[in-house]
Amino acid sequence: MNDLDSLIVKVQNHNSDADFSLIRKAYEFAMIAHAGQKRYSGEPVIIHPLAVANILADYHLGSVSIAAGLLHDVVEDSNVSLSELEREFGREIAGLVEGVTKISQIKLRGSSDEEFVENLRKMLLAMAKDLRVILVKLADRLHNMQTLQYLPLEKQFKNAKETLEVYGPLAERLGMGEIKGQLEDLAFPYVFPQDYQWVINYSKPHYRKAEEFLKKSTRVIYKELAKEGIRAKITSRPKHLYSLWQKLLRPEINRDISRVYDLVAMRILVETVRDCYAALGIIHSHWKPVPNQGISDFIAQPKPNGYRSLHTKVFSLDERILEIQIRTFEMHEEAENGIAAHWFYANEKNKSKVNQSRRDEGFFVPGNKLAWVKQLVSWQKEVVGSQEFMEALKFDALAHRIFVFSPKGDVYDLPQGATPVDFAYAIHSSLGNETQAAIINGKMVALDYKLRSGDLVKIINKEGGRPSEKWLRFVVTQQARRHIARHCSARV
Ligand code: MN
């Protein structure tokens, strides 16, 4: 079976009425666009978009996202233009590819933490119009991290660091625990090589013991659940190395692995929420919960990123402490794949109610979940605590702001209707004053052009240039208005 066929089979397994001809067409298009190009590993470039598409298929995303994954590098890395892509594949797919291309241009690490968080926030907001852009970007980063060993040393470090600082947290906020763990573990050895070695050596025997112990405990629990007629699937999850290291550094753990109870946690998957609580009761009547360590009910009160599960710690065999997580199969899918899972369940459950294109849209969130909006809000609360932002969201003011990029990749947010002149003044008053012309997404435009979210704006200035009074007819920001008026009145 060739690469394309195995991708198609994978998609088929979850979604038999996916648009397979679209996937084929995207694959062939990417194949031609990247023909002759080689990766650092010496392999043909096409293996990369293909790997990205496979990751997206693993998330059970739809054919549009998978096609976008196949095409995500053609604009940046080959001579295909966006308009050509749009002609071939339509606005939706071209828009996704455009979004992914733009994220790569954003300078995520500013000079200060504040700037960084701010850029990150704006990036999210700009992209939140279609979250699939971020899913494609995360899949892209995952495959690049999996093949990081082929890159030059300084790039290895830089990309790995960015992964730990940006993409890991981003995946976490989107509730995508599995990809977060993978990204961090891939980056760990490049950023902290010595600590990585230490954790590996120190934890290895403990992991092995914990797994044996878990096997024994699993048999006991299967039996107890079966007695009460609860059908369950019990799995285990070895803690990701990077997250183990983070935990070991906590003062209360103080590098003592015997205090880490979830080195290998037990996961009990059941059919319904009712079964979750029933299973918890059965376990507690068999093994006593550890006092004060708390039972966490993230079903009644989900974590800000949408995570739902029951957690408990019990004294199990030989009085050993065991951490158990209980959740439904659906919650499990969500905990692993977060936002991506919402599309999956939307597809599965609402087959009759929602048509395919609507389901495949980035906007679509099943039922009244709107999980990612809640996530954005809670994240925002956590990292910036900006009252203003909360108000903005509340009044749907997001619709009245646009986010544009400088050629260096900095993000600027401006009111709707803003023009290149407003943008220039937002960067610096002298740049505003000296504005001569503007280039948007590579094309020269008039100075009263209305900027749109995602535009890449370049200002052409002339040293010693002065603002024109005419600009007052179209600028919308107070900042621009003030500077222009001051100059013009000074001239009179
Ligand atoms: Mn890529």
Using the structure block, give the residue that is written with the tokens 């979830």: 262
Q: Are the beta carbons of 255 and 248 closer than 8 angstroms?
A: yes
User: Is the pLDDT score of 375 beyond 60?
Assistant: no
Q: Which residue in 445, 463, 465, 464 sits closest to 455, CA to CA?
A: 445
If you average pLDDT over residues 14-41, what whole number do you get?
Answer: 93
Averaged pLDDT, 126-133 = 65
**49 CA → ligand 1 middle, Å:** 6
Under 8 Å between Cβ of 92 and 359: no
Give Dmax over CA atoms of the chain in angstroms.
92
The pLDDT confidence band at residue 391, using thresholds 50, 70 and 90, is very low
Provide the residues around ligand 1 (an ion) whose CB is within 5 A.
73, 140
pLDDT score recorded for residue 340: 62
The rounded Å distance from CA 102 to ligand 1 centre is 12
Chain position carrying tokens 């600028």:
475
Q: Which of 414, 384, 383 is nearest to 401 (CA)?
A: 414
Query: For residue range 297-328, what is the model confidence (pLDDT) as tens digits?
Result: 989 887 766 788 999 999 998 888 899 999 99
Residue indicated by tokens 């979004």 = 99
Q: How far apart are CA 177 and CA 340, in angstroms?
A: 11
Q: Are 437 and 449 in contact (CB under 8 A)?
A: no
Name beta bridge partners: 312: 324
Task: Evaluate whether the domain defined by 193-337 bears CATH number 3.30.460.10.
Answer: yes
The set of catalytic residues is: 76-77
395, with CB counted inside 10 A (0-12, 13-18, 19+), is: exposed
d(CA 33, CA 36): 9
Ligand 1 centroid, distance to 173 Cα (angstroms): 22
More confidently predicted of 374 and 210: 210
CA of 366 to the centre of ligand 1 (A): 29
Q: Which CATH code fits 399-491?
A: 3.10.20.30
**Would you say residue 331 has pLDDT above 60?**
yes
pLDDT tens-digit map of 61-91:
889 999 999 999 999 999 899 999 999 999 9
Tell me what pLDDT residue 352 has. Answer: 38
Distance 235 CA to ligand 1 centre (A): 33
Please name which of 24, 63, 70, 30 lies closest in space to residue 49, comparing C-alpha atoms: 70
CATH match of 2-176 with 1.10.3210.10: yes
Q: What is the pLDDT of residue 374?
A: 43
Measure 132 CA to ligand 1 centroid, in angstroms: 15
The helix/strand/coil state of 94 is: helix
Domain locations along the chain: 2-176, 193-337, 399-491
Q: 170 C-alpha vs ligand 1 centroid, how far in Å?
A: 18
Whether 421 shows a pLDDT value over 50: the answer reads yes
